[in-house]
Amino acid sequence: MKNKYMEEALKEAKKSFDMEEIPVGAVIVCNDEIIARAHNLKEHNKCATAHAEILAIEQACKKIGDWRLNDCTLYVTLEPCLMCCGALLQARIKKIVYAAANAKFGYVESIDKLLSNSKNNHIVEIQKVDCPECLDLLQQFFQKKRSSTLISKSKSV
């Protein structure tokens, strides 16, 4: 991986992994400076909206003092879901760079192309980057989750 901002997003994803959260990390960059960084905290916060992207958007808005992130780029380790895509449109984010496709919940390109829909009054530039480390971390998480579920089921029998 050669993208320094995706490396920072991966560091955030690793924090989620260590907390037994789905390992997704995000950073928001403006003028070549990271202005926000976050990782999934859905389980920790007991809140369905505590996705890395949403938390990063909230931080970035506070940092710049505006809800419009017109000149900002989001780097995220996993393709955003429908909720996060909606928040990215509302925040007027300029560009999104993501690593792993999300076949079950991804609304950037996998299920639908919400951010590039011509009916939107704001179109987001999209870039997918190759980052095997992001995919590996997600796969490790779900393998660990599945094996612990199998172990707990076999103990209860």
The gap from C-alpha 37 to its chain's centroid, in whole angstroms, comes to 10
Catalytic residue among 8, 20, 33, 53: 53
Residue pair 5/29 in contact (Cβ under 8 Å)? The answer is yes
Q: Is 109 tagged catalytic?
A: no
What pLDDT, on the 0 to 100 scale, is given for residue 151?
A: 55
pLDDT tens-digit readout, 18-45: 999 999 999 999 999 999 999 999 999 9
**Phi and psi, residue 144, nearest 5°:** -65, -40
pTM of this structure: 0.91
pLDDT in tens, the chain (157 residues): 579 999 999 999 999 999 999 999 999 999 999 999 999 999 999 999 999 999 999 999 999 999 999 999 999 999 999 999 999 999 999 999 999 999 999 999 999 999 988 888 888 999 999 999 999 999 999 998 887 665 555 555 5
Position 131: which residue type? C
